[in-house]
Amino acid sequence: MHKNCTVNMHRNCKVNSKQFKESKLAHHLLDDLKGIEIGGSFHNPFCLNTINVDYTNEMTVFKEIEKNITGNAVNIDVVAPGDKLPFPNESQDFVISSHVIEHFYDPIKAIQEWLRVVRKGGYVYMIIPHRDRTFDKDRDRTRLSELIDRHEKSNQTNSNDAHSHQTFWTTEDFLELCKHFNWKVFAVQDVDDKVENGFTIVIQKN
């Protein structure tokens, strides 16, 4: 599987002038490692050695955006829910995502799942849209108490809508979430070094 993903990695990188720039921080931390990307896209590549996981291989609105921008779409290696991954515990060096975590009704569950599959010392690397720098700027910030309430009730509801933002954060809001769950924050960028309308949080597994 890694062999196929390495081929995909090279094919998706630096082949189209409409692709977004890569993240220097991601390369600094994750080059020479192997991991999982949740919801990868051709127009927003990380150019790392990753297995691309998505919840469907059908043509979604996101795949249409990819093709409209670049004329192509990234290959999906594994079809699975992003918060229920078919990988053993501590089997990956990292999990990476860009503008994905906000689509989960229960982001706590998703992050806990990503930490499950990452080895000790490995990383969960997230670029997250900043509420004030996106079309969500007029939405109320999502409180920590609401996220905890969702997490406690997530097994009783089916509120996921993969096409819509479920949560609206500032950098400080997300750091509060990390502090509450004692997730070790390894690196923070208040303005991400990729698309620059979000922020970057890197959690290292203890």
| Strand (E) or helix (H) holding 123 | strand 118-129
pTM (global) more than 0.85: yes
3-state SS of the chain: helix, strand, coil percent to 5? 35, 25, 45
Q: pLDDT digits over 80-102, tens only?
A: 999 999 999 999 999 999 999 99
User: Has domain 2-204 been given CATH number 3.40.50.150?
Assistant: yes
Q: Mean pLDDT, to the nearest integer, of 11-15?
A: 61
Domain chopping of the chain, boundaries: 2-204
| Strand (E) or helix (H) holding 204 | strand 198-204
Q: pLDDT digits over 116-152, tens only?
A: 999 999 999 999 999 999 999 999 999 999 999 999 9
pLDDT at 186: 98
Q: Is the model more confident about 78 or about 14?
A: 78
